[in-house]
């Protein structure tokens, strides 16, 4: 994604591709998810709910 959209790459100097929380946050930044849903996902104590949500979006659209 960063190679395709270099402007996004500039926003994050350190890339944490092995960090699930960081990855979920980046996807939530760019996907068309309503702001209220993003806040709910980001306010969970861990990223597992966000990961499940994102994976369901991917599976539904393919």
Q: CB–CB of 1/10 below 8 Å?
A: no
Query: What is the pLDDT tens value at each position of the chain, 62 positions in all?
Result: 778 878 877 787 788 889 999 999 999 988 899 999 999 999 999 999 999 999 998 887 65
Rg (CA), the chain: 12
- pLDDT of 12 reads 75
- pLDDT of 61 reads 67
Sequence-distant (6+) residues with CB within 8 A of 38 are 28
CA distances from 27 to 1, 17, 32, 51 (A): 10, 12, 10, 10
- pLDDT of 30 reads 86
Could you give the CA distance from residue 41 to residue 7 in angstroms, rounded to a whole number?
25
- pLDDT of 37 reads 94
The pTM is what? 0.79
């Amino acid at each position: 994604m960063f190679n395709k959209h270099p402007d996004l790459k500039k926003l994050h100097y350190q890339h944490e591709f092995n960090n699930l929380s960081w990855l979920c946050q980046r996807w939530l930044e760019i996907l068309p998810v309503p702001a209220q849903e993003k806040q709910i996902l980001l306010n969970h104590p861990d990223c597992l709910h966000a990961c499940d949500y994102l994976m369901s979006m991917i599976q539904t659209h393919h």
